[in-house]
Amino acid sequence: MGIVNVTPDSFSDGGVNFRPDDAVASARRMVDEGAAIVDVGGESTRPGSEGVSVDEELRRVVPVLERISDLPTSIDTAKAEVARRALAVGAELVNDVTALRGDPELATVAAEAGAYVCLMHMQGEPRTMQANPTYGDVVSDVKAFLEERIRFAVDAGIREDRVLVDPGIGFGKTVEHNFELIRRLDEIAALGRPVVVGFSRKSSLGRILGDPEATTGPLSASIAAAVAAYERGATVLRVHDVKEHVEALTAARAVVG
Ligand code: 7PJ
């Protein structure tokens, strides 16, 4: 899954794809490089961020999605109206970092469109989530949350075989929490749904390399985390650098057999 943030302020590619022409070109390049789907988002959820209005989010993503309706696309939003418009112009998956908790209408919109939905775990909210993340057992807690959200989605009319789950790397988690979630990803995969992992360029990768203030991490470490996640059962890797991840994962797949 290639990431196209149509935002001025996302944590690692903010501004790069803010112009529609650039976002469209990036999406096409990612698919050429082997992405199975392109995740288009108009609202940054980086630590500390505030939200944007529905109108602003629509202004950012709809013109881009309209021009890539021939590609497999996902809409990264927590807003029902943004999802509804995105699905109408061809998106097939709703990637909701709130796991259908942010907008009471979103589950119905996804159910009625027959869309795929990615349910992501987050402790707290983007503005404050990195203040003091605390768990009993992080993997058990995330797994129980995802199990409950799958139930919620199915009860809202979303077919279970349309649901993907994501442990939410960096969303209300310490560095150690993030790596433990990957180490024990098989426990999340045991939910029986495809597991999405987004570790690409995240700050924990810069921090284990020795910079306690890092806000991003390098490509090399991103690839290592993606391969480790793949070996433990991840099916979708959400990444900025598609070509390099496709190359690495192709080799990893050849090893796994
Ligand atoms: C994630 C996400 C993730 C899913 C972001 C970035 C930071 N969606 N949206 N999983 N991270 N499903 O653009 O990398 O880990 S925002």
Ligand 1 atom closest to Cα of residue 196: 12
pLDDT at 73 over 80: yes
Ligand 1 atom closest to Cα of residue 200: 14
Active site residue 238: yes
Helix H or strand E segment including 58: helix 54-67
CB 178 less than 6 A from any atom of ligand 1? no
Q: What does pTM read for this prediction?
A: 0.97
Average pLDDT over residues 204-218: 97
Question: In angstroms, what is the C-alpha Rg of the chain?
Answer: 17
Average pLDDT over residues 35-63: 93
pLDDT at 12 over 70: yes
- Name the DSSP class of 194: P
Average pLDDT over residues 240-251: 98
pLDDT at 10 over 70: no
Q: Which residue CA neighbors atom 1 of ligand 1 most closely?
A: 198
pLDDT in tens, 107-164: 999 999 999 999 999 999 988 899 899 999 999 999 999 999 999 999 999 999 999 9
What's the one-letter identity of residue 54? V
Average pLDDT across the chain, whole number? 96
Average pLDDT over residues 47-62: 92
Return the percent helix, strand and coil in the chain, to nearest 5: 45, 15, 45
pLDDT for position 158: 98
Active site residue 159: no
CB 119 less than 6 A from any atom of ligand 1? no
